[in-house]
Each structure stands twice: as structure tokens, then as C-alpha cells.
Structure 1
Amino acid sequence: MAGALAAAPPQAHLPGLALGLAGTAAVLSVLGDTTLVPVLAVAMLLGALLVLLDFGFTGGFRSLLVDRDGRTLGASFIVPAVAALVILPVGTLAEGYGRFVAPIGPPLVVGAAVFGIGMQITNGCGSGTLVAAGQGSRRMWVALPFFCLGGVLGSLVLPAALRLPDLGTVDLPVLLGPWAGLAATEALLLAGALLVLRGARPRRDRLLAGAAIGAAAALLFLVSGLPWGITMGLTLWGAQTMQALGADLTGFAFWSGGWTREALEGPLLALHGSLSDLGLLLGALLAAAAQGRLRHGVPIGWRGALGAAIGGLLMGVGARLSFGCNVGAFLGGASSGSLHGFVWMLAAMPGCWAGIRLRPLFGLR
């Protein structure tokens, strides 16, 4: 998520809290399908936890690549490790549940690198953009619509990109069975954490925070049927906006049929990813308002706005090409036992390295 910013004056939290409660009530009142209510509730819990625990991914990459301190990023591996305890066996053995499994190829590698650049110059990832927007960050309210637009642009080129040669999917539960696949997944996550930590001990508070986020992600999976994802919901927000403005996306392969066509033509909140994105934003708003930590009073400046716009666009394109972000690709993929989640994390590193060096151009440290 984005780095810490100065909080608004304490008296600002009461209007924000009232707005969040009113928004939540309005959303619940229009949800005709009562099965969607638990999805919204757990997503709001996740948004609140991310604020209260001050948990995010972006700063961990930066600490590792700039300060050679892998304690924060290393601790983040516990998130998919905890979530996998539920997602992998249930998604493999139970009917009505799915997992995130994607091919390893050029779209994944290039998209993750592009996302890494955008993440650093925006100063937030997919979840971080929504959570900080819920906290009132002006930077993230600039980034958010460009993120949605980038997701649509990425969806238009993804079908052609997927025709490039690739290694196919590497699905550990299919290759090894559900329980051996779970053991192999946990071993890979432990190895990744140890590689990032390089002998250092992860911070205990980050481990506990990551475990709580992982448990909430597993709960979201149980009520929705799919792992937690961010970027498809944002892509749908952009696509339905473009449709409302007169653009016809159904002529493009990504949107021409199947579940994507149904999502495009159906209610915006019927897609679990879209509803959970809204819940994340509302949960962050409620938690920040209750603590008096709203950020709407923090100025952004033209360089910050430019970086947020470019970064949001890059994150949207990169996420669609690489099947998600830190949440959908890494957390969702790794906790599903798909090797693409681990490859995503590696491929995002060079993009983060480049993005870190671009940050001063946009007024960031």
C-alpha cells in the first residue's frame, strides 16, 4: 500500500464515518442477492484490517531493493501460506469452489514487470490503491480511474498475448495431489521468504498482521467461492464506464463471450471481485474515519498527480496481462498451488527496481 501520509485533523473523522456508514447501508439495500452480503462484509473486514494493521506490499519491495532489508517483504509470504491452508484443499476437493491457475509465459513476465513500475511511481499496489483511496488519499483517487482504464486496455491485448508460446500451467495439486501439492506450496513459500530475508528475522508484528490478512483472505474465499482478487473488478469498473459512454467492447475477444460478457452486461456488483473491491474501499474508510486517520487534507501537487495517473495506467495494463496484482496473482496464485504466483513475484522485482528510480520525478522519495 501507499506509504504513510499525514492524517487529517481528528475532527474530520466524524463526517467520514457517517459517509462510510451511509454508503454501506446503501450498498446493502441494493443487493438483491443475499448471498452477496457475506462477500461485502468480509471484504470490508479486509479493508479495515489493512488500515488498522498498516499492512501492504509496495514498501516491502522498496525496503528490499533500496535498503537490502527483506524483513517486511519476507513476512508477506505468510499471507498466501495461511490462505493456502484453506484455498488449496477446498478449491481442489470441494464442488463450487475454484482456484487461480494461469500459464507461465511472456504476458505474465512482462505484465508483472510493468505492474512493478506502476506500483512504485503510484506509491501503492492494487489493494493499496483502494485502501488509501478509502482513507481519502488524493493521489489514489487520481490513480484509481487510470487503473480501471489500464485494465480495459490490457484486456484488449491479452487474447493476442496469450497466443505467444508459453510453458503452460504448473498446477501443483494436479501434479502431486491436493495434500502433497499443499506441502510443496508451503515449502516454496518458506523458501521464498528465506531467500528474501537472507538470514534476518522477520518483524513479529508484520508476521501477525500477515497471518490475520491471510486468514481473512481464506474467509473471503469460503464465502465467494474464489480466491481474493482486485484487478478484474477494477477492469470491469472501467469497461462498464466505457460502455455507458457509448463504446462497444463486445467486439473484442476478451469481452465477446463467456463469463466476461456476462459480467460486462450484468449488474456491476454481481461480480464478486467488483463487490469485494467496493467493500475494501468502504472498510478502509470506516476504519480510517473511526481512528481520525483520513488523508483527504494531504496535498498532492502536479508531479504527484502525474505519477499517480501514469502509475495507475501501468498497473492496470500490467495486472491484466499478468492475471492480477500482489493479491490476485501472487496471493491468489500461490495459495492456489499455481506456480505462476511465484513467477509473478520474481518478475515484478525488475519493474519495482526501475520504478523506484523514477519516483523522484513524481515527488516521491
Structure 2
Amino acid sequence: MDLAAFQSLYTTVLWAAFAVSALFGAVAHRTHFCTMGAISDIVNMGDWTRMRMWVMAIGVAMLGFHAMAALGWIDPTQTIYYSGRVIWLSALVGGALFGFGMVLASGCGSKTLVRIGGGSLKAVVVFFVMGVAAFATLRGITAVLRDSTVDRIAIEMQPGSALPSWLAPLLGWDASTAAWVIGGGLGLALMVWAALGEGFRRSPDAWLAGLGIGATVVGMWWVSGRLGFVAEHPETLEPVFLATNSGRMEALTFTAPMAYTLDWLIYFSDKNKVLTLGVVSVLGVVAGAFAHAVVSRSFRWEGFAGTRDTALHLVGALCMGVGGVTAMGCTVGQGLSGLSTLSVTSAIAFAGIVTGALGGLRFQLWLLERD
């Protein structure tokens, strides 16, 4: 591949990522897909429909990821979630902090972007605060704190932290067989469980959310790991995953990409600051949600209700920025993209997110009772 073809492919990858993330934004806006909302529905109303949306989405993502791996389209060992270190404390603490924050901020990172597209000025403020906090936790003051504390505590797990990697020797299978059987089987089981819910079965939006959101995760894995993979860079002659911040195969995630988006906007004139999958994903979700809001005539300006509402959203955004980077992902980054790879770290992070969200809901109830 010559340099001109390489640059053309780079542009194609960015447009493909934008299209996939715009679809995510439109579907999420149409169906009110939200992990925080799903947990809140269970706690407050005993309604599992939105949680079944999420479970259907992860089932689709899991099945799709391992199907592509079995076909040889992608290499599971090249994802950002594949590691010999399970940073369980970072995942647990960061996840809990993120989960608590998303309750205070009226939604997680992806929901914040969807709400921006729908006209929420509150979400715009959350985006900027969350992005700055995420950047500080990637490279700034909280990064130093993170690196010197929770990141130092980990479990070494060879040959990798994905569930099939360490179950394969116990079952006497090779890694690819274990990945397909476990990943495919578990993905199908999750989809079946989601479909068994009466409320889910009767709701077209629930089906659209579960299948559509799951498909966008699979789509982004394909864009990054298949379309965007170049076996030999025309200048360095090394394999490369185009337009990724990590240099590895990536899917949808939104905490660190918010930081990268702010960095790109602030240093726009710097030639070294280029668009990446993460940045165009952030822009794509907002664009997709905005397009649906306009078409459905549901676009509405929204502002803060008062001082306490503002304070809660600021604190929530701060917690999400710090927690999302510490946990290496948000409800989408770890809860969908990460879990689709059967990463043990992702499972721990998602458990932390749910725990933190439950704490956040209890805190909100305490505020109401005090009033």
C-alpha cells in the first residue's frame, strides 16, 4: 500500500466510525437506551425492560465479536482489553466512582452526548467538566494519583485476562475454540434471557435498542479491527490500527474520547493533533441524536433547575471523568465493548459501576427525604 492509499483508507475509517456512532446516537435517543435508567427502573419500579435492552445489546456484541474472531476477521489479542494484568482495584474503584457520578449527572458519558444532541445545555456542561477530569486522569494530577495507588494492585493472569484464555487449558481446548464456544454460547444465552421478558417482547423500541446498540458495537470492532488494520505501514513497515489513540483495536467508549475531543478542539491548529476513532465517535453520537431529535420533533432546550441541580451535575461529571479513566472505560466502554471480549477486568468494572449507581440512587433518596 502506498502513502496515498494509506491516507485515503484513514479517511474512510474515520467516516465509517462516524456513521456507526451516529447510528448509536440515533438509536439511543429513539429508545432512551441508558444503563443508569435501567438500574433506576429496577430499583424504583421493579421494571427490568431497559436492563433487558442492555443485556440483549451485550449478547449481540459478544456473539458478533467472537464470530468475527472465529472467521479470522479480527484478532482478539489485539484489543485494548486484552492484557495479562487484571487491574481489579482500579476497575472496582473507578467503576464505583463512575456509577455514582452518572446518577448525579443524569446519565453516563454516552447518555450525556445523546442529551446534548437533544438540546440539553446541562449535558454540555457535564461534557466539558467530564472531559477535563478525564484528561487530568489520563495525564494530569489525578493520573499521578491513579498510577501511584490503585493501578499498582493487580493480578497477573497469563496468557490473558479474557475468560476463554484461562478457561481453555482447563477444558483442554485451543484458545480459538474456547473463545467461540464460550463467547458465542454466552452471547446467545444473554439474548434469549433478554427476549424472555414480557415487557421486552412487546416493545419494538426494546428490540431496536438491544439489537441496534449491540450491532453498533460489533460494527465499530469491524471498522477498527478489520477495515482499519494495515499489515504494513508504508513508512514504518509495521502493522497498524488506523486512527486509534491506543494503537490497538478499539470499539465504542466515551470517557477518554471526551478528553481527546477537547484536546483536538483546543489544539486544532497543531498538525500533530489528528482526528481519531474516539473523537469522531463523540461527534457522531451527538450528530445522530440531534438528527433524530429534529426528525421526531423532540428537540428541546434544557437548563439547570437551580443551584443544587448544578452542583450535583458538576460533582457527577467530575466523578465520571476520574472514574471512567481509572476503570479504563464507561458503561459502554467496559459494559458493552469490554464485556463483548469476555474481559475479566471489564466484568469487575461493570460490577463497580452498578454498585456505585446503587449508592448514587440511595444518596438521591436521602436528599429527597431530607427535604
What is the TM-score when the length of structure 1 is the normalising length?
A: 0.75
The answer to whether the 8 Å contact 1:100/1:338 transfers is: no
2:88 alignment partner, one of 81, 99, 105: 105
* Closer, same or farther: CA 342–283 of 1 in aligned 2, 3 Å: same
Q: Which residue of 2 aligns with 1:13?
A: none
**Hey, which bits of structure 1, 4+ residues long, moved more than 4 A?**
186-197, 199-202, 238-244, 360-365
For the pair 1:67 / 2:91, whether they are aligned, the reply is no
The answer to whether the 8 Å contact 2:122/2:302 transfers is: no
The residue identity in structure 1 corresponding to 2:66 is L
Provide structure 1 residue ranges, at least 5 long, that are not aligned to the other structure. 1-30, 245-263
Q: What CA deviation, in whole Å up to 9, does each residue of 1:31-76 have, x standing for no partner?
A: 9823311111221111111112222211111122333433321331
The residue identity in structure 2 corresponding to 1:304 is D
Higher mean C-alpha deviation, range 337-346 or range 173-182: 173-182
For the pair 1:117 / 2:97, whether they are aligned, the reply is no
Q: Which residue of 2 aligns with 1:266?
A: 272
* Closer, same or farther: CA 196–46 of 1 in aligned 2, 3 Å: closer
For the pair 1:170 / 2:161, whether they are aligned, the reply is yes
Instruction: Please report how far the alpha carbon of residue 298 of structure 1 lies from its aligned counterpart in structure 2 after TM superposition.
Output: 5.3
Q: Which residue of 2 aligns with 1:249?
A: none
Q: Which residue of 2 aligns with 1:82?
A: 60
2:255 alignment partner, one of 231, 244, 267: 231
Q: Which residue of 2 aligns with 1:7?
A: none
The residue identity in structure 2 corresponding to 1:214 is G
The residue identity in structure 1 corresponding to 2:154 is P
Instruction: Please report how far the alpha carbon of residue 154 of structure 1 lies from its aligned counterpart in structure 2 after TM superposition.
Output: 2.2
Distance 2:93 2:221 in 1: 28
**What secondary structure, in the 3-state scheme, does the structure 2 residue paired with 1:266 have?**
coil
1:51 alignment partner, one of 9, 29, 39: 29
Distance 1:360 1:306 in 2: 17
**What secondary structure, in the 3-state scheme, does the structure 2 residue paired with 1:159 have?**
helix
The answer to whether the 8 Å contact 1:89/1:179 transfers is: no
Q: What CA deviation, in whole Å up to 9, does each residue of 1:113-137 have, x standing for no partner?
A: 0001001111111110101011111
* Closer, same or farther: CA 138–122 of 1 in aligned 2, 3 Å: same
* Closer, same or farther: CA 362–195 of 1 in aligned 2, 3 Å: farther
Question: How does 1:1-365 map onto structure 2 within 5 Å?
Answer: 33-91=11-69, 93-94=72-73, 98-101=78-81, 103-155=86-138, 156=143, 157-160=145-148, 161-166=150-155, 168=157, 170-175=161-166, 176=168, 177-186=175-184, 188=186, 201=198, 203-204=200-201, 205=203, 206-225=206-225, 226-239=250-263, 266-269=272-275, 271-297=276-302, 300-359=305-364
Number of residue-to-residue matches in the alignment: 314
Instruction: Please report how far the alpha carbon of residue 339 of structure 1 lies from its aligned counterpart in structure 2 after TM superposition.
Output: 2.0
The answer to whether the 8 Å contact 1:58/1:125 transfers is: yes
The answer to whether the 8 Å contact 1:126/1:230 transfers is: yes
Instruction: Please report how far the alpha carbon of residue 301 of structure 1 lies from its aligned counterpart in structure 2 after TM superposition.
Output: 2.4
Instruction: Please report how far the alpha carbon of residue 195 of structure 1 lies from its aligned counterpart in structure 2 after TM superposition.
Output: 9.5
Instruction: Please report how far the alpha carbon of residue 287 of structure 1 lies from its aligned counterpart in structure 2 after TM superposition.
Output: 0.9
Higher mean C-alpha deviation, range 139-148 or range 226-235: 226-235
Instruction: Please report how far the alpha carbon of residue 189 of structure 1 lies from its aligned counterpart in structure 2 after TM superposition.
Output: 5.8
Instruction: Please report how far the alpha carbon of residue 89 of structure 1 lies from its aligned counterpart in structure 2 after TM superposition.
Output: 4.3
Higher mean C-alpha deviation, range 162-171 or range 87-96: 87-96
Distance 2:254 2:277 in 1: 10
* Closer, same or farther: CA 105–297 of 1 in aligned 2, 3 Å: closer
The residue identity in structure 2 corresponding to 1:317 is V
Instruction: Please report how far the alpha carbon of residue 277 of structure 1 lies from its aligned counterpart in structure 2 after TM superposition.
Output: 0.9
Higher mean C-alpha deviation, range 200-209 or range 350-359: 200-209
* Closer, same or farther: CA 277–241 of 1 in aligned 2, 3 Å: closer
Once superposed, what is the RMSD of the aligned Cα atoms?
A: 3.3
Instruction: Please report how far the alpha carbon of residue 267 of structure 1 lies from its aligned counterpart in structure 2 after TM superposition.
Output: 2.5
Distance 1:363 1:146 in 2: 25
Distance 2:367 2:293 in 1: 26
The answer to whether the 8 Å contact 1:134/1:284 transfers is: yes
* Closer, same or farther: CA 38–242 of 1 in aligned 2, 3 Å: closer
Instruction: Please report how far the alpha carbon of residue 286 of structure 1 lies from its aligned counterpart in structure 2 after TM superposition.
Output: 1.0
Provide structure 2 residue ranges, at least 5 long, that are not aligned to the other structure. 1-8, 169-174, 226-249
The residue identity in structure 2 corresponding to 1:277 is V
Instruction: Please report how far the alpha carbon of residue 306 of structure 1 lies from its aligned counterpart in structure 2 after TM superposition.
Output: 1.5
Q: What CA deviation, in whole Å up to 9, does each residue of 1:197-228 have, x standing for no partner?
A: 9x965512324421121112211221233221
Distance 2:349 2:193 in 1: 16
Instruction: Please report how far the alpha carbon of residue 304 of structure 1 lies from its aligned counterpart in structure 2 after TM superposition.
Output: 1.9
Q: What CA deviation, in whole Å up to 9, does each residue of 1:253-279 have, x standing for no partner?
A: xxxxxxxxxxx983352x201111111
* Closer, same or farther: CA 302–284 of 1 in aligned 2, 3 Å: same
Distance 1:194 1:109 in 2: 28
Distance 1:195 1:78 in 2: 8
